[in-house]
Chain A
Amino acid sequence: MSGKHPELPVAARVRRLEERMIAAGLATDAELDEILEQVFTSASPVNGARMVARAWKDPAYHDRLLADGNAAAAELGFGAGAQGYLLKAVQNTPAVHNMIVCTLCSCYPTALLGPSPSWYKSFAYRSRAVREPRAVLAEFGLELPDSTEIRVWDANSEARYLVLPLPAEGADEMGENELASLVTRNGLIGTAVR
């Protein structure tokens, strides 16, 4: 790994692990660099936002996204990044708000949401999201009515979750690109309206 933080203890640990994998014939430096390059150049919340915008515009895609997230990602060219896990989209409605957490570590669909924010990996978010999500959302500036049911998805297995937010006002008149620009990373995690 051509790291930018060689002074960090974790960098030395990662390098040691890489050397063991290379010595065992499981990978080469070139392969590892290619994977990292692929992740950091293509992984972006713009990808997830494009899926959401398509789902808002196209009812058939909307249904396919909820039924089979991996196939829906592949349709828009994000299949390779979303390999190795089951992608499950969870839909917000006027009555139900969804949010994503991984209490055990930091599981996250990186290819579609980009590298995860540091708060997503923090002990505070991971412990409080399952215990008092309404208070956590309020701190993100998202005040939900008491009548809204909150569902918190703890991504602790081989499934990765993505929130399908409520369509923006006037979505019918907007194009897909414009709609995609309204969707944020936090919206895809469920810590923003969209």
Chain B
Amino acid sequence: MTRFAAGARVRARAADPDGHTRLPRYASGHIGEVLEVRGTWQLPDEAVRGVCRAEPVYAVRFPASGLWGSGSHSVIIDMWESYLEEAP
């Protein structure tokens, strides 16, 4: 079972980690919607330290108006599960 289902509202982690991450900073703290589960892959933040930890990865859609304050497009970003939390 994955933590988030398609359609779930999620928020990308706002905190900037000490080390490597594949969470693009422009998405930090923003709210998106899960489109689908992409796969289950090693968490890069841990893999870079030699720690193998596989996690579900979700395609999450962020409206440009939320990311940038303007724009009608959307950006879909693949997010490892620990990059995300439930959004109200």
Contacts and interface: CB of A to CB of B under 8 A. Distances in A.
Interface residues of A, number: 20
Q: Which applies to chain B's interface (DSSP): helix, strand, loop or mixed?
A: strand
Contacts of A184: none
B73 A159 contact: no
A150 B64 CA distance: 10
Interface string B25-41: 01000000000001101
A55 B21 CA distance: 36
Contacts, number: 61
A151 interface: yes
Contacts of A153: 75-76
Interface string A126-137: 000011111000
Contacts of B64: 131
B80 A157 contact: yes
Q: Which applies to chain A's interface (DSSP): helix, strand, loop or mixed?
A: mixed
Looking at chain B, what size class is its interface with the partner chain? 20 to 34
B36 to A, nearest CB: 10
A155 B78 CA distance: 7
A104 B67 CA distance: 16
Interface in B59-79: 59, 61, 64, 67-68, 71-79
A140 to B, nearest CB: 15
